[in-house]
Amino acid sequence: MVEAIDFQTDPSTYRHWHVTYDGAVAHLYMDVDEDGGLFPGYQLKLNSYDLGVDIELADIVQRMRFEHPEVKVVVMRSGKDRVFCAGANIRMLGGATHSHKVNFCKFTNETRNTYEAAEEDSGQKYICAVKGACAGGGYELALACNYIMLTDDGSSAVSLPEVPLLAVLPGTGGLTRVTDKRKVRRDRADVFCSVEEGVRGKRAKEWNLVDEVVPNGRFEEIVAERASEFATNSIKRDAGEGIELTPLKRTIGDDNIIYSAVEIELDRAARTATITLRGPDETPPVDMAEFQKQGADAYLLRVARELDDAMLHLRFNEMELGLLIFKTQGDSETLLAHEALLIGNAQNWLANEVLKFWKRVLKRIDVTSRSMIAQVEHGSCFAGVFAELLFAVDRTYMMEGAFEGDNRPIASVTLSEANFGPLPMGNELTRLETRFLEQPSMVEATQAMIGEPLQAEEANQAGLVTLILDDIDWEDEVRLFIEERVSFSPDAMTGMEANLRFAGPETMETRIFGRLTAWQNWIFNRSNAVGSEGALQRYGTGVRASFDMTRV
């Protein structure tokens, strides 16, 4: 049996990155251990990376926001001479399963999106200081930074060589960020993405591939100057001490995964995973000072971390469980009291970070390639931030009226301020705005219901659930839906769901994930890339790839 991929790590176990802190400036060094690949069969030469390298980066970015709120500028750089980063490891890609390649690209996208948004969300600006070859995924690391500096030494260059070398495309948003973020002219982008050697020096600045080209002899000096300048001009307020993200409490069994507030039941025969979020038992902290004392054990931070880890575990380790079923149990009023502390103190750095983390967790759910439903059962607490799950999934089933032998409180849904702004999707709309696209009156009508526990008929009339079912129909209707859903083609489901979940305006983020769903799923199945005579298999052998030249 293949060993499960674990997304939990901490600085004491890092093999590929290290960080130094100097007040408001942090220096993040990529120094990949060649022999530290997540799987056997390849070496991570030239600062190339695999999923294990990115798991560490994601952990660093998260800890930077919670454990080091004093940081205003992060300088990302290489810990090796003459190379910044050669991108995703080719041997890893050539040997990986299709599903791993696509999930790997998705996770790296999410990680880059997280630090790309760090300036807007957390006041932490990322500078990429490029010295040496910066190719493929290496340049994509740079593209997600807020500012790119390139040394002018005659050899250091930025490049996206995937098309000419590997017959694939930059899978971490490279092409999209070049055009949409860097505003590189289409004809220049065509040249840039077609040459293996990339672009260096003044041309890189002229084409807007980087923000600044620096004389090699003054590179370290000017990088330090720029970091100090950005820190001085930062509008981020001093936050004081951070909190430690202590290890999650988690038990993985044969057919379940148990956290403190999240439980997953795995039914492999039915190809389903049921994810139950348990509402808080305790009253909320009296203020943010007490919340900070609770640290990583504070309820809404703890459950967000557990749900995030659970989603990643299911994505990579349980890929045949095609239907995720979300449930909650608990007291809605207590949950909303915990949430109100954060919403009411959104200017507090820690409250802001927890809310922004919930935004990222929900976005991860939005782009997860599984069918998803929610079941609003008696005793549930789909309220506020938990209610967002109802609008993230593909369908919602809700119990109507009393059920024989069920003494739990009658099922209800309660909206809060969290459903109307703080937790937008990648399309920059709230999930309710996406649900009621260009129907502002519907959104306003639901906003008028904030704080009201809506039972089945009211929730149905408000458009918040898909179907309401009574005691007679509940079990059969839900069972029939589940049996039908898991019988459909996973490929068709992925395509349908990815289209339906992102109604409304396109943004750079939706384009990145939409194109990932389309182009990487397609290209990673084509023999030109992954076949025995394809570019990924023949790269580095001295034998040219053999292409099927049919263009369809």
Which pLDDT score is estimated for 551? 85
Domain 251-490 has CATH 3.90.226.10: yes
Domain ranges of the chain: 11-233, 251-490
Residue showing tokens 């890893």: 92
Contacts of 312 (CB under 8 A, 6+ apart): 7, 107, 364
Residue range 126-136: mean pLDDT, rounded: 97
Which pLDDT score is estimated for 240? 84
pLDDT at 11 over 60: yes
Task: Count the helices and strands in the chain (H runs, E runs).
Answer: 24, 20
Confidence of residue 26 (pLDDT cuts 50, 70, 90): very high
Contacts of 281 (CB under 8 A, 6+ apart): 330, 334
Pairing of strands 256-258, 199-200: unpaired
Residue spans of beta strands (DSSP E) within 182-336: 199-200, 212-215, 251-252, 256-258, 262-267, 272-278, 323-329
The CA-based angle 180-356-275, given to 5 degrees, is: 105
Report the alpha-carbon distance of residue 389 to residue 374 in Å, rounded.
7
The predicted-structure confidence for 433-488, as pLDDT tens digits, reads as follows 999 999 999 999 999 999 999 999 999 999 999 999 999 999 999 999 999 999 99
Q: Residues, the chain, total?
A: 552
For residue 186, what are its two tokens?
């289409």
Beta bridge partners of 350: none
The predicted-structure confidence for 34-43, as pLDDT tens digits, reads as follows 999 999 999 9
For residue 430, what are its two tokens?
């709230």
Mean pLDDT computed over every residue of the chain? 95
Confidence of residue 540 (pLDDT cuts 50, 70, 90): confident
Beta bridge partners of 28: 19, 76
Decide whether 11-233 matches 251-490 in CATH topology: yes
SS3 415: coil
Report the alpha-carbon distance of residue 50 to residue 56 in Å, rounded.
11
Instruction: Evaluate the CA torsion angle 200, 206, 211, 215 in order and state its sign.
Output: positive
Residue range 254-258: mean pLDDT, rounded: 97
How deeply is 259 buried, as exposed, middle or buried, from its count of CB atoms within 10 A (0-12, 13-18, 19+)? buried
Which pLDDT score is estimated for 2? 61
* Nearest one of 319, 470, 446 to 398, comparing CA atoms: 470
Which pLDDT score is estimated for 157? 97
Residue showing tokens 């639901």: 446
pLDDT at 392 over 50: yes
pLDDT at 239 over 90: no
Which pLDDT score is estimated for 295? 97
pLDDT at 1 over 60: no
pLDDT at 346 over 70: yes
SS3 153: coil
For residue 43, what are its two tokens?
């070496």
For residue 340, what are its two tokens?
């109100």
The answer to whether 505 touches 498, Cβ cutoff 8 Å, is no
Report the alpha-carbon distance of residue 225 to residue 247 in Å, rounded.
37
pLDDT at 290 over 80: yes
The answer to whether 509 touches 426, Cβ cutoff 8 Å, is yes
The answer to whether 336 touches 384, Cβ cutoff 8 Å, is yes
As assigned by CATH, the class of the 11-233 domain is: alpha beta
* Alpha helices in 283-331, H assignment, sequence order: 288-294, 299-317
The answer to whether 238 touches 177, Cβ cutoff 8 Å, is no
Residue 81 carries which side chain, given as an amino acid letter? D
